[in-house]
């Protein structure tokens, strides 16, 4: 539908058309500006969507406490998330590469786990402490970690670093009961120890008594165990003793006592035979006793052992074994001593 201008507008057509054009120009220019802004925003958004990619490396740090006292321990954790096909040089976050100002690294550990979407998650944990009192704050310096892109068939050692990612610094506040601004810190030993209360003072003797009470059954049990584990010599039966003594006598009678060496050997065997017989018959440990002591021990026991004969044979044995070479008994005397030892053994 076409509208015709009024008569009063016919005489000034140029002026009327110009005003109409001006009235139409304003909304058109505003619309164009709005469209331009809209298209620019879409272009920027599309460019962002087209060019933005997931982050290859994501680094996060954490402290389990923000302030410590002297000798307190604080846990410092670095978590590195690697995207698909990306890995880091874990050696860049080793204990030796971490620089701490005013802190001491007591220990460290690391874990490598698989995350969602073929990602790799590294977790580095450090245990820190401090023994200094002259620093108001403690710092862990920033660290740079190198990463690389893995390709199929390529070894990790052959891959060149694709970039670096910084690990931010960490600051730990230091809290102390000591006043600040002092050059030295003297040991506060001016005050004496407060006396303990009576109920606490009695705990020391009670504790000592409990320890002694616990030691007694433990020591008794240890003694029993030692006695059970100690090898005991099985006592010989009377039959076995008689058999051994007869065997010894037969060996003595078979000796050649015509030579001095043979007689010394014979007297040594006679001494051992008689002493063993006294121990078996009278229960006297005669191995380390003198003849006089053996006589006294046999008399106290009241055993059926010829005391005089035992004393005479042992005296002859000591004389032959420890006397000078020229005082060695003759062969006949040695045979007589063998016969006396046989009398002692056979009387029991």
Per-residue confidence in pLDDT tens, the chain, 348 aa: 334 344 334 334 434 444 444 444 444 455 555 555 555 544 444 433 333 334 678 999 999 988 888 889 999 999 999 988 888 989 999 999 999 888 999 999 999 999 888 899 999 999 999 988 787 788 999 999 998 887 776 666 666 778 889 999 998 888 765 655 566 656 655 566 777 777 777 788 888 888 988 898 888 888 888 887 766 666 667 788 788 888 888 888 888 888 888 888 888 888 888 888 888 877 778 777 888 888 888 888 777 778 888 888 888 888 888 888 888 888 898 888 888 888 888 765
Is residue 278 a contact partner of residue 310, using CB atoms and an 8 Å limit?
A: yes
Is residue 183 a contact partner of residue 133, using CB atoms and an 8 Å limit?
A: no
Quick one: DSSP state of residue 330?
-
The rounded distance, in Å, linking the Cα atoms of 87 and 118 is: 11
The rounded distance, in Å, linking the Cα atoms of 109 and 98 is: 13
Strand partners, 57: 82
Q: Which residues contact 167 (CB under 8 A, 6 or more apart)?
A: 59, 61, 78, 93, 142, 143, 144, 145
Give pTM, 2 decimals.
0.38
Fold of domain 57-174: Immunoglobulin-like (2.60.40)
């Amino acid at each position: 539908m076409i509208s015709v201008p009024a008569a009063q507008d016919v005489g000034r057509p140029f002026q009327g058309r110009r005003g109409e054009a001006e009235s139409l120009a304003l909304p058109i220019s505003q619309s164009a500006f709005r469209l331009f802004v809209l298209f620019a925003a879409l272009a920027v958004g599309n460019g962002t969507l087209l060019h933005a990619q997931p982050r290859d490396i994501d680094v996060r740090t954490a402290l389990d406490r923000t302030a410590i006292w002297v000798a307190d321990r604080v846990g410092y954790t670095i978590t590195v998330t690697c995207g698909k096909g990306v890995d880091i040089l874990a050696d860049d976050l080793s204990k030796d590469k971490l620089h701490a100002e005013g802190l001491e690294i007591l220990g460290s550990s690391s874990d490598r786990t698989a995350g969602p979407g073929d990602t790799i998650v590294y977790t580095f944990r450090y245990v820190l402490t401090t023994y200094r009192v002259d620093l108001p704050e403690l710092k862990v310096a920033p660290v740079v970690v190198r990463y690389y892109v893995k390709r199929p068939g390529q070894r990790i050692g052959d891959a060149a670093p694709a970039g670096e990612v910084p690990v931010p610094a960490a600051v730990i506040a230091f809290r102390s009961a000591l006043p600040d601004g002092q050059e030295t810190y003297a040991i506060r030993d001016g005050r004496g120890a407060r006396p303990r209360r009576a109920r606490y003072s009695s705990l020391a003797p009670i504790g000592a008594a409990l320890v002694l009470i616990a030691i007694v059954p433990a020591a008794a049990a240890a003694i029993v165990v030692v006695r059970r584990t100690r090898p005991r010599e099985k006592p010989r039966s009377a039959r076995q003793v008689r058999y051994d003594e007869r065997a010894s006598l037969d060996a003595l009678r078979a000796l050649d006592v015509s030579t001095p060496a043979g007689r010394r050997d014979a007297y040594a065997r006679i001494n051992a035979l008689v002493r063993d017989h006294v121990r078996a018959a009278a229960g006297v440990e005669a191995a380390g006793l003198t003849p006089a002591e053996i006589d006294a021990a046999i008399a106290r026991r009241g055993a059926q052992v010829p005391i005089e004969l035992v004393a005479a044979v042992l005296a002859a044995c000591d004389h032959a074994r420890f006397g000078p070479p020229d005082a060695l008994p003759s062969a006949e005397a040695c045979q007589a001593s063998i016969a006396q030892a046989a009398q002692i053994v056979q009387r029991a």
